[in-house]
Amino acid sequence: MNLPIRYPEVKVLPASLYTNNRQRVAAWALALMVAVLCMVFSLADARAESARSIESAYGPVKVEGTPKRIVTLSESALDTALALGLKPVGTVAARGGDAVSVYLQEKAGKISIVGTTREYNLESILAQQPDLILAANGLNKEIYAKLSKLAPTVVAPYTGLDDWRKNVRIYAQALNRGNEAEQALTELDGRIQALRAKLPAGTTVSVARWNPQGPILMSSKVFTGQILGQLGLNAPELADSLGERPHSDVLSLENLSKIDADWLFLATLNAKGQETLDAARTQPAFIRLEAVKKGRAAPVDGQVWTSSTGILAANSILTDLEKVLLP
């Protein structure tokens, strides 16, 4: 006997229900689209806010976010980056050496050398895949044009005779560390004021770099001179009269008295500062200086005192002064 085939009962939903479901789906899709668009616009706004125009020697430079692969082509730029907790992937060797300045080596660690302060290796810079390049004032415009094709390149707009803090602030803005820089500078100023209160008023300090050709006197307008001035220390007349020159010509033994002061700091670009001072003491013109007679001549690191600029360098100079000037 053939049984009848029973098909499952199919209920037809009201047309209004289908309409309501389609409306719900459409509303959900619209809400999702709005949420996605809001997120996209929010990210775009955040990126736009983090993008900033940095003052540079060759015009404003646009930098976005916090750079990760930084190449510094000046000792000041390296000092600033390290002081603000960032480690560049490439930098230049210190003047008179083949590595970074000794006072920066611990913080810098292992870092690629991409040239010297006078000459850069573009292939080495490219190999670091930089997303930001920081360079010193005076960078050749043709080199700048090439570097700008590799990454945003910020060239310090101020010279070594301007307030050294200005270039530090420019670098800090490019690094997205402006607030940290201001805090570090405030702490430095506090340390300077504390030391100033302990130093006798009217003290004169001379900073001379002893080169193989002979000594040169550093201007009171350069980095170290600015630090000494903020401490209330006076410079010799020659150091104040150099105008736009960062240092004097090489001084003959006959003119050596022009570097005399209450205290004499003798800077060398190598680690032989004490040897240089001992050798200088064999010169009659040197031992006739009042600072030498009174035992107030001290060797210091020329890479810090006469070549570098920055927050770490300033603190290093203060440490040297505390050791020498305070009883």
Residue 56 falls within a domain, yes or no?
A: no
Q: Are residues 109 and 172 in the same domain?
A: yes
* pLDDT score for 45: 40
3-class SS string, 118-146: CCECHHHHHHCCCCEEEECCCCCHHHHHH
* Residue 50 belongs to a domain: no
Same domain, 130 and 75: yes
Cα torsion 126, 54, 312, 321: sign: positive
Per cent of the chain over pLDDT 70 is 83
User: Residue 43: its pLDDT value, please?
Assistant: 38
Average pLDDT (16-24) is: 56
Provide the domain count of the chain. Answer: 2
Amino acid in the structure at residue 286: F
Give the pLDDT confidence score for residue 17 in this predicted structure.
Answer: 52
- The CA-atom distances, in angstroms, between 252 and each of 139, 209, 210 are 32, 13, 12
Domain for residue 5, yes or no?
A: no
Given a cut of 70, is residue 58 above it in pLDDT? yes
Mean pLDDT estimate for the chain: 87
Residue ranges making up the domain that contains 108: 61-183
Which residues, listed in sequence order, are joined to residue 247 by a DSSP beta bridge?
Answer: 218
| Whether the predicted pLDDT of 28 surpasses 50 | yes
Q: In terms of pLDDT, which residue wins out, 244 or 35?
A: 244
Q: Above pLDDT 90, what percent of the chain?
A: 73
- For 285-314, what is the mean pLDDT? 94
Query: Of 148, 183, 218, which one is at a domain's C-terminal end?
Result: 183
The residue among 327 and 78 whose pLDDT is bigger is 78
Phi, psi angle pair for 4, to nearest 5° = -70, 140
132, 158, 183 - which closes a domain: 183
The lowest-confidence range among 25-34, 144-153, 248-257, 291-300 is 25-34
Distance in angstroms (rounded) separating the CA atoms of residues 117 and 95: 7
Is 207 in the same domain as 174? no
Q: Which residues contact 180 (CB under 8 A, 6 or more apart)?
A: 84, 85, 172
Residue 32 CA to residue 243 CA, distance in Å, equals 67
Q: What's the CA gap between 132 and 129, in Å, rounded?
A: 9
Chain segment 187-208, per-residue pLDDT in tens: 999 999 999 999 998 999 999 9
5: pLDDT strictly greater than 60: no
pLDDT at res. 25? 47
Residues 215 and 150 in one domain: no
pLDDT of residue 48 exceeding 90, the answer is no
pLDDT tens digits along 251-287 = 998 899 999 999 999 998 776 667 777 777 778 888 8
| pLDDT reading at 30 higher than 70 | no
Residues 144 and 68 in one domain: yes
The answer to whether residue 160 sits within a structural domain is yes
pTM for the model stands at 0.83
Give a yes or no: residue 81 inside a domain: yes
Assess whether pLDDT exceeds 80 at residue 223.
yes
Q: Is residue 131 part of a domain?
A: yes
The residue-averaged pLDDT of 12-25 equals 55
Domain final residue pick, 154, 183, 212? 183
Q: Is-contact 274 302, C-beta < 8 A?
A: no
For 23, 207, 221, 247, the CA distances from 16, given in Å and listed in that order, are 10, 92, 86, 91
CATH number at residue 115: 3.40.50.1980
